[in-house]
């Protein structure tokens, strides 16, 4: 009996673990079907109380494998000893896993009658994926839809967004599973019909403008994270990036990655200003990440710091990051935690959110939508920034996560944003993966990780808007709510009564 009670948690944990194989760098979308299907089987027909435990086990596997790279930043670069790094990573994963625990509870509490309950499972999953994009500032990572980035289904992201792809994936996986489990054809018919119908929709929504392409150079300096914030290394770091950039002084745009200037500008100016002046005289725009200091509007005696992307030649403009990483860029409960351990005193951990920011940056007669690092994972934030742009740009520093899965997952996410918005996307990073991404999500060119190199390309300005840009997540959310309504217990009672009467 005890062994039987352990079977569901074990299956659920294993199902969560295998979900990671659906995403980069493994890229096996079959697991985006198998993983939720096994989770569905694990909680179908059990009590709501037990579903909390089963759902939590699934979440432990899902996030424990999928975001294990958090350990690297805590231990390797946060200098936390191994036991403490394991503890903090475990607490992070366990906290995220509670979302799947709540998801399991919601499904089993309100969807107990089997005829249409599987539709409720799909709807509840989508609502919780959406919740993860904003709840407690959000952790919009590992959405099932990302698994389809290298398949014909990826073009549907321009219409439905990544959440729509997640919904289609779940309809297929859970519908087929329910058809086999209940030996009823209905779920299988729905599972096959809806995804196939969507393939009949158009897949080209934006077109290149009739003007010359933008010539760009993305600088990947490959600066060690251990050296980056050591003030003694500032001249060497800046000179290295200048040397990498100099052969490309005649392009339209040079991009340095996130915090490529690892100091306040007045400290870096003696080393970089002559080069920036030279580029300015050459009408070449250079953008770089840097920490921006400004006065606190509520207290003039205090200063605020922003993680920013600025234009230093050829034009002007500054973008301030709108989504900050907890503990990485700001410390929750700062008064209690600051100074407790080295991890809570990391460089860049004193940034603030801006009161307002510039959503596009000008280069020549182009409007570029900038996003910094983690922000590219937010579909709606990117959509709003991209509405009045012709090109997307994201800068990042994934060196925080070493040789883990993070850089590959991050690139996969960026590719999805390009499809959703029908725009080419430039991705400039410190140590990889620097890439130029086409509007269909395919990679035009990229630089291998862990090398100091410059990626050059010519990219077109795109015009027009995708359906996702027009409507955002709302069609998918409304459809998820419809599925939840169809599977809801009172509705099922009415439906079953109707079938008995007419049968």
Please spell the DSSP secondary structure of 208-228, one letter per residue.
E-SSPPEEEEEEE----HHHH
Say if CB 73 and CB 118 are below 8 A apart.
Answer: no
> pLDDT tens digits for 426-462?
999 999 899 999 999 999 999 999 999 999 999 999 9
CA separation, residue 310 to residues 21, 159, 288, 306 (Å): 37, 32, 6, 11
In the prediction, which pLDDT does 3 show?
Answer: 66
Q: How far apart are CA 78 and CA 328, in angstroms?
A: 9
Q: Is the pLDDT assigned to residue 302 strictly greater than 80?
A: no
Of 457, 461, 414, the residue nearest 253 (C-alpha): 457
- 321: annotated active-site residue: yes
The secondary structure of the chain in percent helix, strand, coil, rounded to multiples of 5, reads 55, 15, 30
The arithmetic mean of pLDDT across residues 59-74, rounded, is: 92
Contacts for 422 with CB less than 8 Å, ≥ 6 apart: 158, 205, 206, 439, 462, 464, 465, 466, 469
Contacts for 65 with CB less than 8 Å, ≥ 6 apart: 16, 17, 19, 20
Tokens 């779940």 correspond to 170
User: What CATH number is attached to the domain comprising 437?
Assistant: 3.60.110.10
Tokens 């100074």 correspond to 339
Asked if residue 177 and residue 216 are part of one domain, the reply reads no
Asked if residue 491 and residue 375 are part of one domain, the reply reads no
Q: How confident is the model at residue 472 (pLDDT cuts 50, 70, 90)?
A: very high
Largest CA distance in the chain: 85
Tokens 């493994």 correspond to 26
Asked if residue 270 and residue 178 are part of one domain, the reply reads no
Supply the DSSP string of 316-359, one letter for each residue.
Answer: --EEE-SSPPBTTTB-TTHHHHTTTSGGGG-TTTT----SS--S
Q: What is the 3-state secondary structure (H, E, C) of 379-419?
A: HHHHHHHHCCCCEEEEEECHHHHCCCCHHHHHHHHHHHHHH
Domain of residue 162, residue span: 2-203+476-502
Q: What's the mean pLDDT when you consider all of the chain?
A: 89
Asked if residue 231 and residue 107 are part of one domain, the reply reads no
> pLDDT tens digits for 17-49?
999 999 999 999 999 999 999 999 999 889 999
Q: Give the DSSP H or E segment for 308.
A: strand 299-313
In the prediction, which pLDDT does 488 show?
Answer: 75
Report the share of the chain in percent with pLDDT over 90.
70
Of 375, 382, 376, 373, the residue nearest 400 (C-alpha): 373
> pLDDT tens digits for 221-275?
999 888 888 889 999 999 999 999 999 999 999 999 999 999 999 999 999 999 9
Plot region of 327 (φ>0 → left; ψ -120 to 50 → alpha; else → beta): left
Q: How far apart are CA 210 and CA 59, in angstroms?
A: 48
In the prediction, which pLDDT does 498 show?
Answer: 47
Asked if residue 497 and residue 456 are part of one domain, the reply reads no
**Coil, helix or strand for 263?**
coil
Cβ–Cβ contacts within 10 Å for residue 458, how many? 13
Q: Is the pLDDT assigned to residue 4 strictly greater than 90?
A: no
- 258: annotated active-site residue: yes
Domain assignment of residue 438, yes or no: yes
Asked if residue 404 and residue 319 are part of one domain, the reply reads yes
Of 120, 119, 177, 169, the residue nearest 143 (C-alpha): 169
Asked if residue 480 and residue 440 are part of one domain, the reply reads no
Q: How far apart are CA 102 and CA 52, in angstroms?
A: 6
Q: Global pTM? A: 0.92
Domain assignment of residue 216, yes or no: yes
Report the share of the chain in percent with pLDDT over 70.
89
Domain assignment of residue 471, yes or no: no
**Coil, helix or strand for 262?**
coil
Tokens representing residue 467 in the block: 């359906």
Asked if residue 234 and residue 139 are part of one domain, the reply reads no
Asked if residue 483 and residue 455 are part of one domain, the reply reads no
Supply the DSSP string of 18-70, one letter for each residue.
Answer: HHGGGSTTT--TTHHHHHHHHHHHHHTTS-HHHHHHHHHHHHHHHHHHHTTTH
In the prediction, which pLDDT does 5 show?
Answer: 75
Domain assignment of residue 69, yes or no: yes
Phi and psi angles of residue 217, each rounded to the nearest 5 degrees, phi first: -135, 115
Tokens representing residue 413 in the block: 């996410």
Of 116, 210, 144, the residue nearest 463 (C-alpha): 210
Catalytic residue selected from 258, 329, 380, 420: 258
Q: Give the DSSP H or E segment for 286.
A: strand 285-296
Asked if residue 241 and residue 166 are part of one domain, the reply reads no
- 57: annotated active-site residue: no
In the prediction, which pLDDT does 493 show?
Answer: 56
Lowest mean pLDDT among 181-185, 357-361, 472-476: 181-185
The arithmetic mean of pLDDT across residues 182-208, rounded, is: 83
Q: How far apart are CA 214 and CA 252, in angstroms?
A: 6
Domain assignment of residue 470, yes or no: no
In the prediction, which pLDDT does 225 show?
Answer: 85
In the prediction, which pLDDT does 401 show?
Answer: 87
> pLDDT tens digits for 75-112?
887 778 899 889 989 999 999 999 999 999 999 998 86
Question: How many domains does the chain contain in total?
Answer: 2
In the prediction, which pLDDT does 481 show?
Answer: 95
- Pure H helices in 141-184: 157-182
Domain assignment of residue 96, yes or no: yes
> pLDDT tens digits for 137-186?
889 999 999 999 999 899 999 999 999 999 999 999 999 999 998 888 88
Asked if residue 457 and residue 442 are part of one domain, the reply reads yes
Q: Is the pLDDT assigned to residue 425 strictly greater than 90?
A: yes
Residue 305 CA to chain centroid, in angstroms? 24
Catalytic residue selected from 321, 329, 380, 465: 321
Say if CB 15 and CB 38 are below 8 A apart.
Answer: yes
Indicate the angle between helix axes 474-487 and 157-182, nearest 10 degrees: 20
Asked if residue 296 and residue 215 are part of one domain, the reply reads yes
In our burial notation (b when 16+ CB lie closer than 10 A, e otherwise), range 482-500 reads ebbebbbeebbeeeeeeee
In the prediction, which pLDDT does 494 show?
Answer: 52
Catalytic residue selected from 373, 375, 380, 465: 373
């Amino acid at each position: 009996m005890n062994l039987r009670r352990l079977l569901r948690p074990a299956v659920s944990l294993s199902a969560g673990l295998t979900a990671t194989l659906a995403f980069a760098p493994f890229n096996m979308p079959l697991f985006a079907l198998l993983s939720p299907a096994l989770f569905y089987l694990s909680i179908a027909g059990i009590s709501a109380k037990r579903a909390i435990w089963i759902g939590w086990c699934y979440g432990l596997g899902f996030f424990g494998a999928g975001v294990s790279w958090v350990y690297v930043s805590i231990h390797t670069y946060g200098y936390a000893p191994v036991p403490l790094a394991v503890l903090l990573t475990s607490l992070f994963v366990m906290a995220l896993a509670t979302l799947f625990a709540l998801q399991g509870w919601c499904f089993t509490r309100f969807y107990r009658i089997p005829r249409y309950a599987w539709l409720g499972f799909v709807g509840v999953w989508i609502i919780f994926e959406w919740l993860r994009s904003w709840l407690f500032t959000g952790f919009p990572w590992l959405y099932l839809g990302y698994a389809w980035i290298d398949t014909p289904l990826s073009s549907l992201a321009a219409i439905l967004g990544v959440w729509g792809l997640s919904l289609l994936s779940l309809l297929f996986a859970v519908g087929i599973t329910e058809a086999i489990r209940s030996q009823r054809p209905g779920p299988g018919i729905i599972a096959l019909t809806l995804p196939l119908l969507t393939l009949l929709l158009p897949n080209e929504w934006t077109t290149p403008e009739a003007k010359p392409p933008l010539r760009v150079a993305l600088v990947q300096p490959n600066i060690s994270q251990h050296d980056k914030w050591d003030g003694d290394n500032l001249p060497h770091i800046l000179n290295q990036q200048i040397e990498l950039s100099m052969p490309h002084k005649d392009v339209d745009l040079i991009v340095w990655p996130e915090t490529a200037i690892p100091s306040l500008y007045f400290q870096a100016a003696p080393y970089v200003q002559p080069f920036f002046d030279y580029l300015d005289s050459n009408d070449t725009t250079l953008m770089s990440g840097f920490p921006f200091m400004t006065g606190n509007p509520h207290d003039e005696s205090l200063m605020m710091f922003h993680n920013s992307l600025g234009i230093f030649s050829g034009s002007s403009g500054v973008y301030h990051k709108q989504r900050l990483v907890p503990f990485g860029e700001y410390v929750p409960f700062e008064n209690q935690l600051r100074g407790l351990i080295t991890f809570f005193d990391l460089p860049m951990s004193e940034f603030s959110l801006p009161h307002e920011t510039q959503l596009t940056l000008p280069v020549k007669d182009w409007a570029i939508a900038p996003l910094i690092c983690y922000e590219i994972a937010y579909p709606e934030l990117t959509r709003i920034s991209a509405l009045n742009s012709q090109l997307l740009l994201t800068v990042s520093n994934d060196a925080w996560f070493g040789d883990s899965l993070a850089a590959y997952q991050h690139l996969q996410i960026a590719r999805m944003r390009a499809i959703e918005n029908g725009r080419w996307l430039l991705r400039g990073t410190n140590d990889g993966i620097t890439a130029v991404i086409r509007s269909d999500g395919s990679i035009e060119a990229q630089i291998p990780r862990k090398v100091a190199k410059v990626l050059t390309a010519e990219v077109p300005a795109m015009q027009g808007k995708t359906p996702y840009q027009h409507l955002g997540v709302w069609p998918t959310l409304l459809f998820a709510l419809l599925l939840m309504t169809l599977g809801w217990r009172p509705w099922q009672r009415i439906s079953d009564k109707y079938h008995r009467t007419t049968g």
